[in-house]
Amino acid sequence: GESVGLHLPTLSVQEGDNSIINCAYSNSASDYFIWYKQESGKGPQFIIDIRSNMDKRQGQRVTVLLNKTVKHLSLQIAATQPGDSAVYFCAENLNTGFQKLVFGTGTRLLVSP
C-alpha cells in the first residue's frame, strides 16, 4: 500500500553527537521526498528535500540519503544541538497525477545537553 513509516519513534542523543533518523517508504514510483521538522505547538518546517534521481543531498548540518533499492530514506544531523529537539517527518510524493505528499508518523529527537 501507500505508506511512509519510521523505524524509531524516539531517538535520544547527547549534544554534539551526530543523529540519524530513518524512514521507509513503500511506493517505488515516488519521485520526491522531503524531511520536515516540527517543534511543539508549531507547524512542520521544511528541512531538506531530495529527488529520486539523486542518492545524497547536503544542507547546513543536515544530509539526506536515499536508497531506492531498499526504499529507504535517512536524515543525518551533524553536531546535534538542543534546538534540534523536535519531531521529524519524512514525506513522499506519490507522483500520481497532482503531486501530493504522504507523511510518515514521525520520530521524536531528544537532545540532552
Partner 1 sequence: NAGVTQTPKFQVLKTGQSMTLQCAQDMNHNSMYWYRQDPGMGLRLIYYSASEGTTDKGEVPNGYNVSRLNKREFSLRLESAAPSQTSVYFCASSITGAGETEAFFGQGTRLTVV
Binding residues for partner 1 (CB under 8 A):
4, 31-32, 34, 41-46, 49, 89, 91, 93-95, 98-106
Smallest distance from partner 1 to CB 111, Å: 21
Smallest distance from partner 1 to CB 77, Å: 18
Q: How far is CA 74 from CA 2, 12, 39, 69, in A?
A: 18, 16, 19, 14
**By C-beta, is 42 or 83 nearer to partner 1?**
42
**By C-beta, is 56 or 100 nearer to partner 1?**
100
**By C-beta, is 74 or 95 nearer to partner 1?**
95
The two counts, helices (H) then strands (E), for the chain are: 0, 11
Query: What is the residue whose three cell numbers read 540519524?
Result: 20
Smallest distance from partner 1 to CB 35, Å: 10
CA distance 10 to 14: 14
Smallest distance from partner 1 to CB 84, Å: 19
Please count the other Cβ atoms lying within 10 Å of the Cβ belonging to residue 85: 18
Query: What is the residue whose three cell numbers read 529527537?
Result: 109
